[in-house]
Amino acid sequence: MTGQRESSLAGATASADARPGNVSVVPAAEFEDRLAVTLRDMLGLTPGVIAQPRFGEEVRLSIRGSGVANNSHLRGVELSFDGVAINGADGFGDFQEIDPNFVAHLTVLRGANAFSGGSPTLGGAIEMSAIRGDEAGEAAILRIDAGTAGTVRLHARAAIASERGDALAAVTLQRADGWRENAAQSNGRLLLTGGWRLGPRVDTRFGLLGTDLNQQIPGALTISDALATPRRANPGNAAFAFARDINSWRGWTSTSVESDRLGRLLVGTAYSDRQLYHPISVVIDQRLHDGQGFARWDHASTFAGVDLGWTVGVRVRDSRTAARTFAAVRDGRAARGALTAHSIQRAGGINLLGEVRVGMAPGLEVLAGAVAIETRREVQNLRNPAASDSMVYRRTVPRLGVIWTPDDDTRVFANLSGVYEPPGFGQLTQGGLSDFVPIQAQRGTSAEVGARTKVGPVGLDVTVYRVQLRDEFIAFQTSPLIPAVTFNAPRTKRNGIEAGARATLAEDFAGARLEGRLAWTWNDFRFDADPIYGDNRLAGVPDHTLAAELALEGQGWRVAPSVLVQSDLRVDFANTLKAPGAALWNLSASRDITERATIYVDARNLSDEAAISMVSTIADARAPRANLAVATPGDGRAVFAGLRLRFGARP
């Protein structure tokens, strides 16, 4: 359940290898010598993860077609930081609280592989593990980044550790003018983590994550305008001073107890306090209080000569949001007009996880489990009590998997699972603009088969999956200034391939090691005999993405050109309009100038190609008065540089 984390990169990798599905572990070393801000920066070479930048830290995040209805914000993939859910209790979330400088490694659990954390969503989960005081290699780090569009970032951290405990404090301050108009940001983030060992097998950990963010939103343009004048903001965004300002605090604690006879028990709690001020075509003012409790019991033994393991877990959520909406004033200062809506939104419930693993033969393990969900959505309308309403969603979602390990370098896996995702308040209230609407939970079946293997210097990961859904959340934008309308598509289907390769091409190439990496994702997402759209493709995500990097690495230095290719983006569900694809060429380089100092350069979009980063989906581009301001321009050529200073060995 939420709260589970691996204590080290090695432990996370071992856990991923034991899962019968496509799981990736990405260490911070893969992005620490670049200006990492978004999930694309952190997971750009991870197959199956589509992260299309929108502004600031926000992306359209899609794994196996999750989130195609997300023209903004987050849902469909559960994000957690050190075991604490970033998503709210209704599944909704923001990306702005993520700071890559605070992350030790990420674990990408696609689809059913997230069952181990109690999540049966289509996209699965991304678990971010915080840097720990007992794993930091230095007593302190100071990092300075600067570059294009007035970007300046300062990061500092300090760590201590002893046999009984550890502690780490980190802070990041960042400001940028933004590559586009109305895209400036200024923010600060704080992380405090620590642990105390009450005994050789009793470990308590705690943490506090704070965010103070002020961020403008440039908005979308027509495709032609986005390609011709990409620096422009949407005129409405500038006139109403679209922005997202967040002040949040998340605190958590967990205790693990291990026993040779009883296995490992983990229990913990978390609490979040979040203030959102979000001027768009209306002004959204919300205060969220979110409490979580979790427990998990893992055990492994041998019974009658058969290896047997099991996991039992529970997660309880409860949140309360005081939500007010005001009329927006077109004065360019994000002023509030008259109060138009006032409600109390409550969400929460319980997730139960049960999983059994049986060793059927040497190298062959079968896993069977289920996640049971009961979750509620309640809106108390304080301006119109008659419009108050509530919904309760219940379902038990099964999963069956098998993993075969014929040798140390090869794992073959397959699994079959259910998919379930109840709607959030955004769907039920159509972005806060209406009373409850009858949106059903998204549900379906997912199957995957794949292999991870290594042949000489080449490592390969290939997974093929198929998903069939009922009542998928689909959204279309009717106006550039109004939240998208959500509806349930009766039937949809997905086929896809996630493929990654890594190879050492030469151990001695001009005195350096030459390595290559490649990540390819193929998406075939369609309606299934829909009464309106037939078997049309779903809009929003590309059919193909390809990321490749060629790295030359010597003693204390590294140079790595790379390319990111995205195919055309369908804009409407009628499949009449596309945004063109693009190939973005990049170059990163780093060098240790002393034992304690490293410099880096991160150059992006070297050819300064005008490209479309993402599109907001619409119903039919041919319809009269259809909203065609749906394209978010990608950034042009940008260059960033940084200096990282390391001080002393950690005490």
Domain range for residue 425? 9-649
Residue 398 vs residue 303, higher pLDDT: 398
Mean pLDDT of 13-34: 90
For residue 124, the model assigns a pLDDT of 94
Quickly state the pLDDT bin for 335 (edges 50, 70, 90): confident
The secondary structure element, H or E, covering residue 211 is: strand 202-216
Residues 6+ apart with CB under 8 A from 458: 501, 502, 503
Give the global pTM: 0.94
Is residue 399 over pLDDT 80? yes
pLDDT tens digits, residue range 480-499?
Answer: 666 667 889 999 999 999 99
Distance CA 624, CA 629 (A): 14
Q: Are 411 and 17 in contact (CB under 8 A)?
A: yes
Is residue 570 over pLDDT 90? yes
pLDDT tens digits, residue range 257-273?
Answer: 999 888 999 999 999 99
129: tokens are 């593990």
Q: Are 397 and 417 in contact (CB under 8 A)?
A: yes
Distance CA 40, CA 183 (A): 19
Is residue 390 over pLDDT 60? yes
Mark 485-521 as b/e (b = at least 16 C-beta within 10 Å): bbbbbeebbbebbbbbbbbeeeeeeeebbbbbbbbbb
Mean pLDDT of 269-297: 94
Q: What is the 3-state secondary structure (H, E, C) of 384-420?
A: CHHHCEEEEEEEEEEEEEEEEEEECCEEEEEEEEEEE
Is residue 28 over pLDDT 60? yes
Tally of domains in the chain: 1
Helix, strand, coil percent values for the chain (each to nearest 5): 5, 60, 30
Residue 331 vs residue 322, higher pLDDT: 322
Within 10 Å of residue 225's Cβ, how many Cβ atoms? 16
Residues 6+ apart with CB under 8 A from 9: 25, 27, 104, 105
Query: Is residue 2 situated within a structural domain?
Result: no
Residue with tokens 């929108």: 54
Is residue 5 over pLDDT 50? no
Residue with tokens 């059903």: 440
Percent of the chain scoring above 70 in pLDDT: 97
Quickly state the pLDDT bin for 581 (edges 50, 70, 90): very high
For residue 183, the model assigns a pLDDT of 96
Quickly state the pLDDT bin for 9 (edges 50, 70, 90): confident
- Choice among 165-169, 247-251, 386-390 with the minimum mean pLDDT: 386-390
Is residue 70 over pLDDT 90? no
- Choice among 1-5, 21-25, 203-207, 472-476 with the minimum mean pLDDT: 1-5
For residue 132, the model assigns a pLDDT of 94
Quickly state the pLDDT bin for 281 (edges 50, 70, 90): confident
Is residue 2 over pLDDT 80? no
Query: Is residue 316 situated within a structural domain?
Result: yes
Q: What is the mean pLDDT of the chain?
A: 92
571: tokens are 């804009």
Query: Is residue 4 situated within a structural domain?
Result: no
| DSSP code for 136 | -
Q: What are phi and psi of 111, to 5 degrees?
A: 55, -130
Q: Are strands 78-81 and 124-130 parallel, antiparallel or unpaired?
A: parallel
Amino acid at 70: N
Residues 6+ apart with CB under 8 A from 164: 196, 197
Quickly state the pLDDT bin for 611 (edges 50, 70, 90): very high
Angle at 627 between CA 625 and CA 630, to 5 degrees: 160
Distance CA 39, CA 225 (A): 26
Mean pLDDT of 563-578: 96
For residue 304, the model assigns a pLDDT of 80
Supply the CATH number for residue 485's domain.
Answer: 2.40.170.20
Is residue 203 over pLDDT 90? yes
Query: Is residue 1 situated within a structural domain?
Result: no
Amino acid at 199: G
581: tokens are 């694809």
pLDDT tens digits, residue range 300-317?
Answer: 998 888 899 999 999 999
Query: Is residue 291 situated within a structural domain?
Result: yes
pLDDT tens digits, residue range 516-534?
Answer: 999 999 999 999 999 999 9
pLDDT tens digits, residue range 110-169?
Answer: 998 898 888 899 999 999 999 999 998 899 999 999 999 999 999 999 999 998 999 999
Residue whose C-alpha is closest to residue 328's, from 282, 278, 286, 276: 282
Bridge partners of residue 485, in order along the sequence: 476
Q: Are strands 597-604 and 612-615 parallel, antiparallel or unpaired?
A: unpaired
Query: Is residue 632 situated within a structural domain?
Result: yes
Query: Is residue 3 situated within a structural domain?
Result: no
End-to-end Cα spacing for the chain: 33
